[in-house]
Chains A and B, each alone.
Chain A
Amino acid sequence: MQMTDDDPIKFRCQGVNVWYGDTHAIKDNDIDIHDKSVTAFIGPSGCGKSTFLRCLNRMNDTIDICRVTGTLLLDGDDIYSRDIDPVQLRARVGMVFQKPNPFPKSIYDNVAYGPRIHGLARNRADLDAIVEDSLGAAGLWDEVKDRLAAPGTGLSGGQQQRLCIARAIATKPEVLLMDEPCSALDPIATETVEELIEGLGRRYCVVIVTHSMQQANRISQRTAFFHLGNLVEYDTTDAIFSTPQDERTVGYVSGRFG
């Protein structure tokens, strides 16, 4: 795993706070997320890593009681400013969820969903190309090319998750957020998806929340450790797992708690 500190910064987050009603879920955190690499968020359940992830594409907006403060800059633009439409932001910052959630539509229509609503294809041939490219990038094309009209919900769990990744790629995002994308998959499907994420990290800014330290170790270049709403430690993945600085990080990565 090579050091990639020269990667440009994609997200610059400063003084980020999140409240759910009266609960202070994220406490004044700063983090810079680099482009063209995989950044992993790890930490025990309830530490705020998923909440932080959902700030990056303003998915928290859909929760009424959630309030976000601080500065989150995507390529220098404040994504919480009034000028930014969260709908357009989410087209730039794609998301893959914990549980595979293909729409109850055909495989083709699942992938074509984003391009259609954003008008990315001028004609059917364009759309066909986008669908093929996206499914190819998600490593699913060979498995489904003969049954694009079959329902996406009929695929296996691992295939469904890769379909969801293809669906996210199809909108041509700059950033891919992944919220525990393998936690509902068996080890073999997990391996396939992990390889896929590793490859995507060379082209996109990928941020992945994971419960598995092995997974973070295998696929990410940088790792951020969250604990009780605080970003405790953020460094290269090698550093976090070999020479953690904070007592809490040491405890977590050595398996003493969490």
Chain B
Amino acid sequence: MLTWAALAILLLTVAGFLLARNRAVALAGDTPSLLHSRPVYHGGYVALWTAIAGFGLLLLGLIVTNILIGMALYGGLPAGLSEIERDLIVSDGVALSRGTLASRTDEARQAVAALYGRLTTLQIGGLALASVGVAVFTLMRGLGRVAIPFRARTRFERVVQTLLMISAGIAVLTTIGIVASLLGQTLVFFSEIPVLNFLFGTHWSPLSGVHEGAMDPQKVGAIPLFAGTLLITVIAMVVAVPVGLFSAIYLSDFASARARSIIKPMLEILAGIPTVVYGFFAAITVAPFLRDTGAAMGLSVSSESALAAGVVMGIMIIPFISSLSDDVINAVPQSLRDGSYGLGATKAETIRNVILPAALPGIMSAVLLGVSRAIGETMIVVMAAGQGANLTANPLEAVTTVTVQIVALITGDTEASTAAGPAFALGFTLFCITLIFNIWALRLVRKYREVYD
């Protein structure tokens, strides 16, 4: 029913466009220049408003009536029930009415089902009729306004501008929503667990006390996770920064056009490999290799090690750093290179003394973005770093990271509502750290842009 209504509104929109356009053409007669706006704007104006009115009412109506129906269902329940029982009865009633499975069928549930059935029929029928009606009304009204002096173009453009603004707003609002939900859940968690225990405790086993009904504040210390994240990030950057930077220098100032045309796409392919592939590459190829090599040298390397995860993560970040650095090195004007060569500097001297200093802010921001990627990276560490919260600085041992623990908490067996607390707290911490790095990087980029403008 609602699908048909939507289809009808769509047809009305198309009809509105054609009718209004034709009407404008007819009004203008032999001298189209009489019209203030081109016929297509008259069409667009009517079509746009028809669609907005029809679909808008449909969507808004659905949201509002759903809330009303919910209120009606809960309002009709017998008094003196706990919240969980009320939720159960309503969800069972809805299920009964839809013909799917319910946990029980008793009188209260049957009543809810009957009420729900009646209300939804009313809701759907009413909304379909109302939205199509409004669309027709808007269409007719719009057609009535088509006239030679009517400023359809300015109005049309204003509507489009508003739509653009709303689209931009959606991204912003979503971000705000995510941050708000993160923040809310985190605050709930911290109302039970002291912040200092979380930030500075060294024992991480948040769900070990859950069977007794509450988390043990002594066992939610996230330091081992931060340390593990830091360790792996450092290893990754030790791999990625020199290799990425050197390859960028090679590509921008030494490589022949031919070498560049081969290497650059290869690096971009590296950037396109899904992280999950890197993950099992780390877990199945690199980690055993490191373990066996270590064993041959008399070192005991755990089969899941920070080193394996960090090295592979570094490889993953190489194209990121090399591509961004390549861009900033190329952005250093040729005139500066010429100036340096013209003074008798060699290529190496020019790169060291002129190009790298000029490109440094950009390179720094590439590194910082790389760091924030390393911190937030999940798949590689889930597969290759380990699960146990092991506080160590030894890269040959298994460590765990913030992201790994979030995955473990959310996908684990424990009830989501219980596990969500520490997960949200970890997620929020992670968000804050990467946000700081990203802002820092953006500021560096902006500073860099000012140099040559």
Contacts and interface: CB of A to CB of B under 8 A. Distances in A.
Interface residues of B, number: 21
A188 interface: no
Given A64-B257, A113-B353, A117-B349, A101 B344 contact: no
Interface stretch (B42-50, B184-192, B331-339, B381-389): B331-339
A105 B256 CA distance: 29
Interface in B342-365: 342-346, 349, 353-354, 357-358
Nearest to A103: B354
Given A59-B338, A62-B338, A153-B451, A103 B358 contact: yes
A88 B345 CA distance: 8
Contacts of B353: 103, 113, 117
B74 interface: no
A131 to B, nearest CB: 14
Contact of A117 (B338, B339, B342, B345): B345
B134 to A, nearest CB: 62
Interface stretch (A23-31, A90-98, A246-254): A90-98
Interface stretch (A4-12, A14-22, A163-171, A195-203): A163-171
A231 B451 CA distance: 40
A113 B340 contact: yes
Contacts of A94: 342-343
Nearest to A95: B342
Interface string A89-124: 111101111010111110000000110011000000
A117 B451 CA distance: 24
B257 A90 contact: no
Given A97-B335, A117-B349, A117-B353, A171 B343 contact: yes
A87 B339 CA distance: 13
A171 B358 CA distance: 22
Contact of A97 (B339, B346, B357): B339
Interface string A71-84: 00000000000000
Given A103-B336, A104-B451, A113 B343 contact: yes
Contacts of A210: none
Contacts of A91: 343-344
19 contacts: A64-B256, A64-B257, A87-B345, A87-B346, A91-B344, A96-B342, A97-B342, A101-B335, A103-B340, A103-B358, A113-B343, A114-B343, A114-B344, A114-B345, A117-B343, A117-B345, A117-B346, A153-B451, A171-B344
Interface of A: 57, 59, 62, 64, 87-92, 94-97, 99, 101-105, 113-114, 117-118, 153, 164, 167-168, 171
Given A62-B337, A87-B344, A103-B357, 4 more contacts: A62-B341, A101-B338, A103-B353, A167-B339
